[in-house]
Amino acid sequence: MRKSVCPLLLVIVLCVAFCKNAFSQAAQVDSSSQQFALNNAVTLFHASLGDGSPLYNGPEYYFYDPLIKGNAYFLDVNAFTTGSVFYDGASYTGVPMLYDLYSDNVAVLLYNHFTKFTLIKEKVKSFDFLEHHFVNINADTISVNTSGIKSGFYDQVYNEKSAVLVKRSKSIQTSTGSLSGVEKYFSPATDYYLWKNNTFYSVNSQGALLNALKDRKKELEQYIKKGQIKFRKGPEEAMVKIVSYYDHLTN
């Protein structure tokens, strides 16, 4: 397999180099077209490597006991679905993946469509999956962590001057109320965070959010009332609207 990869690798490298040179000389070519061509070349390169790709260097991934009710995955999607990931300094697209909320890990499927790997978390900078963008936050790098935010993957649902981050997780709980005896099931949990002025705030209520944005609290309260924004009914949507308006006020 290695012998067959080398000629293809050379061709791809030459194609990428040619594309870069051609694009640099053609000012009329749109930058998005350049990036699309380069991404396709990189994707072809990693596909040619198969199990030799740097993407597949983590431990093997195993599914959970099928007797546990529910599942451990983001949006309950328990089938490998195409996404993209920035891993170990490189961008990978068209990657079959799962996001495990119980272990807070990303699992990927090898090109043989059988072997499953867990990506090494420290090497994952971000990933895009099911139209959500996740970022890897290292709590040890936060100088002042009064929010209690922990290291892990966070769904970045808004990112402008300020940012709204959602921590989605699942735990395994035990129930003894059924006729069949003790049962285990996956239980979801969601926590919300605001990032403002290089500081994280835990904001699991409208009051906590307004306290974090207290320099524009009066204007925000008027905006919430006028827009009939209901935080309890939809915290994520409410936060995005409120924080977006706050950024508009402070521009």
Q: Is residue 229 part of a domain?
A: no
User: Which residue is it, tokens 């035990």?
Assistant: 174
Q: What is the pLDDT of residue 11?
A: 41
Q: Is residue 41 part of a domain?
A: yes
Q: Is the pLDDT of residue 33 over 70?
A: no
Average pLDDT over residues 67-78: 96
Q: Is residue 15 part of a domain?
A: yes
Contact 74, 130 (CB under 8 A): yes
Q: Is residue 19 part of a domain?
A: yes
Q: Is residue 6 part of a domain?
A: yes
The CA distances from residue 138 to 57, 89, 107, 124, in Å, are 21, 16, 20, 11
- 3-state secondary structure (DSSP) of residue 31: helix
Q: How many domains does the chain have?
A: 1
Mean pLDDT, all residues of the chain: 83
Domain that holds residue 33: 2-52
Q: Is residue 216 part of a domain?
A: no
Q: What is the pLDDT of residues 147-190, one digit of tens each?
A: 889 999 999 999 999 999 999 999 999 987 666 778 999 999 99
Q: Is residue 45 part of a domain?
A: yes
C-beta atoms surrounding 204 within 10 Å: 13
- 3-state secondary structure (DSSP) of residue 8: helix
Q: Is residue 32 part of a domain?
A: yes
Q: Is the pLDDT of residue 34 over 60?
A: no
